[in-house]
Chains A and B, each alone.
Chain A
Amino acid sequence: AQSVAQPEDQVNVAEGNPLTVKCTYSVSGNPYLFWYVQYPNRGLQFLLKYITGDNLVKGSYGFEAEFNKSQTSFHLKKPSALVSDSALYFCAVRDSSGGYQKVTFGTGTKLQVIP
């Protein structure tokens, strides 16, 4: 069975500092990996994805993530945090083999950017 671990319930970072939100995954085949953001009382919004190709992927709002196959990780990063980045972040994985496969989400990490 596939799974996603987001080991930190909350990450606090000062505005202007770099941020990292961690994600590790387990899947039997090759993974499709995703990051989503959720603002209060809203649905999830797609940030970025790794499907194939370059291990470093860039997404919306200056976020990026690096796919590390040996460490089965897909950490979300941003060089300089903004107060408006404060939100709930979800990592998700899907097995790429055999047609459509179910998506599994992590439990989420609350990012708090302190002015």
Chain B
Amino acid sequence: NAGVTQTPKFQVLKTGQSMTLQCAQDMNHEYMSWYRQDPGMGLRLIHYSVGAGITDQGEVPNGYNVSRSTTEDFPLRLLSAAPSQTSVYFCASSYDGTSGGHYEQYFGPGTRLTVT
């Protein structure tokens, strides 16, 4: 299993440009999330999904869109990049197993985004 993969690893955008961060998992997990990590602020939830076709907003959703057409893929779209979106972005997946199994999240390696 590849686990959770993210592309690209690094990206530089100019203000106003748009782009899509890709996330895929091959573990058949039902739940997927996008976080951003900023110094001193921990991980903040942007959007999450509880299954194909179902998404919801997290703590900091403004400026980002998501969709989930398949169980495997959960892309994050930046509509019009701003310098405040300079951050490291992590995708994670999980599932709630029976009998107390699992629940923990599996994280991708991250995408480091700089907006100038």
Task: Write the residues of chain A forming the contact surface with B, with a CB cutoff of 8 angstroms.
Answer: 9, 32, 34, 36, 42-46, 49, 51-53, 90, 94, 99-100, 102-108
Contact = CB atoms under 8 A, between A and B. Distances in A.
Contacts of A108: 42
Given A51-B100, A100-B50, A102-B58, A46 B105 contact: yes
B110 A100 contact: no
22 contacts: A34-B104, A34-B105, A36-B105, A36-B107, A43-B4, A43-B107, A43-B108, A44-B43, A44-B90, A44-B105, A46-B104, A49-B103, A51-B103, A52-B100, A53-B100, A90-B42, A94-B103, A102-B45, A104-B45, A105-B43, A106-B42, A108-B42
B89 to A, nearest CB: 11
A45 B4 CA distance: 12
B40 interface: yes
Nearest to A100: B50
Contacts, number: 55
A43 B90 contact: yes
A53 B100 CA distance: 9
A45 B108 CA distance: 9
B40 A107 contact: yes
Give the most central of A43, A90, A94, A102: most B CB within 10 Å.
A43
Nearest to B48: A102
B79 to A, nearest CB: 22
Nearest to A46: B104
A43 B48 contact: no
Given A44-B90, A90-B43, A108-B42, A103 B105 contact: yes
B71 interface: no
Contacts of A49: 103-104
A26 B41 CA distance: 17
Give the most central of B30, B100, B108: most A CB within 10 Å.
B100
A44 B58 contact: no
B25 interface: no
Contact of A107 (B33, B41, B108): B41
Interface in B76-112: 90, 92, 96, 100, 103-110
